[in-house]
Structure 1
Amino acid sequence: MKYQSTRGGVKGIPFKDAVMMGLADDGGLLLPESIPTLTPGDLDALASLAYPELAFQVISRFATDIPAADLKLLIEHSYASFTHPEVTPVVHQDGVYILELFHGPTLAFKDVALQLLGNLFEYLLAERGEHMNIIGATSGDTGSAAIYGVRGKQNINIFILHPHGKVSPIQELQMTTVTDANVFNLAIEGTFDDGQRIVKEIFGDLAFKAKYALGAVNSINWARVLAQVVYYFHAWAEIRRSTGCRELYFSVPTGNFGDIFAGYIARRMGLPVKRLILATNENNILSRFVRDGDYSVGSVVPTLSPSMDIQVASNFERYLFYLFDENPAQVKAAMAAFQKSGSLPFDAAQRARVADDFLALTVDTAQTVATIRDFYAATGYTLDPHTAVGVRAAKELAGGEVPVVCLATAHPAKFAEAVLHATGKNPQRPASLAGIEEREKRCEVIAADTATVKAYVEKHAL
């Protein structure tokens, strides 16, 4: 399997090089040159597998340059740290299926990908005798998951930018209380979009990227998306066994388009997904795109679901590549125009194709609170605010003719204030959060300025 850039300047590179490159050298995002397709018989064979073996069967189709025995060990090691034997279990509550993605070290769906990516990096660096300086931006969960994925690992330093004062207290503590020598937390005086812009600009400086051996953990890294594809197959298999249904809806709370894009890839591979339901909070550039063809940047609005407080969705370019019939010149021109104008137009034919892939809903703060409250009252099950956005969208948009799976992207204890406000009760804390407020912290507040961040990286890079 070879990889190409959405903008056409990189072609024919193997999976290992795609992982190490992160952002494509031409500024685009990497995608496989072809997507493997599975028959109904293939799907039925996958449905009986435990999660690590299922992950191997999916990922190995895209990572053909890693020996099978090595890949199996990397996958098994990555998911051994999860606290549930099924890794991402499915539970049935109040008419919807909840895919719990929060049983990893930092209690968020990002662990599913970043535990694997950290191990992939360590494996590839050892194989090549190289080192890496990881730079990433986070709106909350990616940062801690990336840090836990590489903390203490050989030949890796990690620099994570988060928006100062704009992540939940637990999210901040999960990052800043990791004091391993190879971990650097930077609180930028700006928004997540500022952090994402700074990271893209740094990676766009190819001389700097090469000199400091920069690596990416944001979902611009294809391996992140690939690892997330697996749990769509897992959820389908679980519900197929329990209900006999072959077709599903998936409802995905999203801000950066990475998690839902993994579902889109699963659908292109042949997973029988009726529609992907795209759920946003008030930062609704993506739901406006699906519903109205309006992909235009607005101002970031702080909400109870801060991991989705995003206006520029970095993974959206990957979907554009397919919407534009895999035409990299058209993608490159569209992204250049978007950089200047902050908006993209879509014609009627393109909008019809989008409508075939997605349904979408904007869920505001009041609706999020009401969903957490009502769901808890009906079931005793506590939703975190991001998951509540997805559940609300599922209940409004899924027609009831086939089951709907809602992706539970974070443990409710990460957003205790929102849960307390909605239900009157604090969510139960898992053991990993016990005493976190008393732990030693390390973090630097820094200007949201590319040159300032580059200077910091220069000073502390391997």
Structure 2
Amino acid sequence: MHYKSTRGQVAGIGFIDAILMGLADDGGLLVPEYIPQVSAETLKSWQSLSYVELATEIFSLFVNDEIPRSDLEKLVQDSYGTFRHPEVTPVRKLRDNRYVMELFHGPTFAFKDVALQFLGNLYAYVSRKTGSVIHILGATSGDTGASAIEGVRGKEGIRICILHPHQKVSKVQELQMTTVDDANVLNLAVEGTFDDCQRIIKELFADVDFKHRYHLRAINSINIARILAQTVYYFYAYLQLAKQGLADKLNFSVPTGNFGDIFAGYLAQRMGLPIHKLILATNENNILERFVNEGVYQPGEFRGTYSPSMDIQVASNFERYLFYLYGENTEDAAALMSLVKTEGKLVIPDDKKATVAADFAAHAVENDECLAVISQYYDDYSYLLDPHTACGVAAADQLTGTDEVTVTLSTAHPAKFNEAIALCEIKQSYPEQIEALFSKPQHLKIVKGTNEAVQDELVRFF
């Protein structure tokens, strides 16, 4: 398997080089040269596999011979052996035809652990095998940072710097990042929004000389390994429900801000997973919902919400979907992304709008609706949703029929967002790992939201 850029100037690179490159050197995003196909017979044969075994099979379709099978199996086992649940991502029933897939059983209680435990171990593997210097640079709206840090803290040959928007993540999210005192970890609190953090990251990676001089590697979902790891749990959920005869009209409702998690579902569907409907759930930062429903992609004014990890106006994975929407035409993809940069928006024609409408349904959840859903499911079904998952459940309730089965991706443990839970007058207990954070000292540096300010810190750190 080789990888190519959505903008056409990078192609024919192997899996390991694709992981190390992160953002393509032409400014585009890397995608597989072709999408492997999984037959109905193969799906049936996978029904008896554990999560670790399934992940190994799916990764092997994208890795080929670059990583020996025995090494790949160990990477996967090491990555998911850290999870608190034996199924890694268990599927739980909420009520008739409504399920959640709990993706928060990893070390930092967030779905990002599923991809970042694997990517952290993969980076460590590559560093050991090749003697490569790994300097990871990432931005977080809350969960990526803690998961990425947990994946590589203390590992030889790796240093990591994470940017987060100062005072715009939950307290638990902040503590999970900033109470880490390992010498190879740097936390920068950026004066601005997550979109500012993400812009700085992409522009620094686009400076190819700087990127190569300081051996920068990507941990955000611009890195194709993140997407590949997230496709696995779509297959796993389908296989668990198929064994119960519940997969004929199976939907997934996905809380998303950066388009990465739902793009993984789109990729799984393109691989042959029979998904009936992909439901895109956003909050009041509804750029993606507007695109699906109106065909307009236009970043707007940032709005702080009770689901801060989705408070995003510029979706970094959107370019990958545009690439496929336009028939893998790299010139079209590059031109459309240039249009967003120069004119602040893009509008797709009616034929493309019809394709988007066939690929996705979408619903934007306002703050009051989010809290109402948390309260309703706690009162009626004794299940406590975090505010991001509540957005996904709200979208599922709005957009699916009674004859359809819908799995909402439950993206975080509610203890990470007690600010929202408390507004519902619900008292929860913290897991002991989270409770312990409140007594630890924090380690971070506040910086201005400019490329220069961040660059200066990186030069000192790396």
TM-score range, shorter chain: over 0.9
- AA at the equivalent of 2:19: V
What is the match of residue 90 of structure 1? 91
Q: Aligned equivalents of 1:387 and 1:76: distance in 2?
A: 27
Q: Aligned equivalents of 1:26 and 1:206: distance in 2?
A: 9
Unaligned runs of 5+ in 2: none
- Secondary structure at 2:447 match in 1: strand
What is the match of residue 453 of structure 2? 452
Q: Contact 1:7–1:27 (CA<8 Å) still a contact in 2? A: yes
Deviation of 1:47 (Å) = 1.7
Deviation of 1:244 (Å) = 4.1
- Secondary structure at 2:101 match in 1: strand
Question: Does 2:194 match 1:211?
Answer: no
- AA at the equivalent of 2:44: D
Instruction: Please list the CA deviations of residues 57-105 of structure 1 after superposition, one character each: whole Å capped at 9, or x if unmatched.
Output: 1111001121111001000000000000000000001231100000000
What is the match of residue 391 of structure 2? 389
Instruction: Please list the CA deviations of residues 432-462 of structure 1 after superposition, one character each: whole Å capped at 9, or x if unmatched.
Output: 112211112100000001011111100110x
Q: Contact 2:246–2:405 (CA<8 Å) still a contact in 1? A: no
What is the match of residue 134 of structure 2? 132
Q: Contact 1:188–1:195 (CA<8 Å) still a contact in 2? A: yes
What is the match of residue 228 of structure 1? 230
Q: Aligned equivalents of 1:368 and 1:190: distance in 2?
A: 25
Pick the aligned partner of 1:329 from 331, 342, 347: 331
Deviation of 1:345 (Å) = 1.1
Unaligned runs of 5+ in 1: none
- Secondary structure at 1:446 match in 2: strand
1:188-337 matches, within 5 Å, as 188-337=190-339
What is the match of residue 432 of structure 1? 433
Instruction: Please list the CA deviations of residues 400-428 of structure 1 after superposition, one character each: whole Å capped at 9, or x if unmatched.
Output: 22210000000000001211211x22222
Q: Contact 1:94–1:375 (CA<8 Å) still a contact in 2? A: no
Q: Aligned equivalents of 2:43 and 2:318: distance in 1?
A: 27
What is the match of residue 69 of structure 1? 70
Identity fraction in percent: 53
- AA at the equivalent of 2:9: G
Q: Contact 1:94–1:378 (CA<8 Å) still a contact in 2? A: no
Q: Aligned equivalents of 1:253 and 1:299: distance in 2?
A: 20
- AA at the equivalent of 1:75: V
- AA at the equivalent of 2:427: N
- Secondary structure at 2:3 match in 1: strand
Give the TM-score normalised by the residue count of structure 1: 0.99
- Secondary structure at 1:186 match in 2: strand
Deviation of 1:175 (Å) = 0.4
Q: Aligned equivalents of 1:420 and 1:447: distance in 2?
A: 32
1:370-381 matches, within 5 Å, as 370-381=372-383
1:398-437 matches, within 5 Å, as 398-422=400-424, 424-437=425-438
Deviation of 1:394 (Å) = 0.2
Structure 1 segments of 4+ aligned residues over 6 angstroms from their partners: none
Deviation of 1:242 (Å) = 2.2
Alignment root-mean-square deviation, CA = 0.8
Instruction: Please list the CA deviations of residues 132-191 of structure 1 after superposition, one character each: whole Å capped at 9, or x if unmatched.
Output: 111111000001000001101111111100000000000000000011000000000000
- AA at the equivalent of 1:31: V
Q: Contact 1:139–1:162 (CA<8 Å) still a contact in 2? A: yes
Q: Aligned equivalents of 1:318 and 1:427: distance in 2?
A: 39
What is the match of residue 338 of structure 1? 340
Instruction: Please list the CA deviations of residues 279-327 of structure 1 after superposition, one character each: whole Å capped at 9, or x if unmatched.
Output: 0000000000001112111011000000000000000000000001000
Q: Aligned equivalents of 1:293 and 1:82: distance in 2?
A: 39
1:165-204 matches, within 5 Å, as 165-204=167-206
Give the count of matched residue pairs: 460
Q: Aligned equivalents of 2:401 and 2:418: distance in 1?
A: 32
Q: Aligned equivalents of 1:219 and 1:404: distance in 2?
A: 25
Q: Aligned equivalents of 1:45 and 1:349: distance in 2?
A: 38
Give the TM-score normalised by the residue count of structure 2: 0.99
Q: Aligned equivalents of 2:75 and 2:247: distance in 1?
A: 32
Question: Does 2:54 match 1:54?
Answer: yes
What is the match of residue 359 of structure 1? 361
Deviation of 1:245 (Å) = 2.9
What is the match of residue 34 of structure 1? 34
Larger deviation, residues 429-438 vs 186-195: 429-438
What is the match of residue 44 of structure 1? 44
1:16-35 matches, within 5 Å, as 16-35=16-35
Instruction: Please list the CA deviations of residues 193-213 of structure 1 after superposition, one character each: whole Å capped at 9, or x if unmatched.
Output: 000000011001111111100
Instruction: Please list the CA deviations of residues 337-370 of structure 1 after superposition, one character each: whole Å capped at 9, or x if unmatched.
Output: 1111110110011000001110000100000000
Instruction: Please list the CA deviations of residues 203-256 of structure 1 after superposition, one character each: whole Å capped at 9, or x if unmatched.
Output: 011111111000000000000000000000000011111234333100000000
Q: Contact 2:231–2:265 (CA<8 Å) still a contact in 1? A: yes
What is the match of residue 10 of structure 2? 10
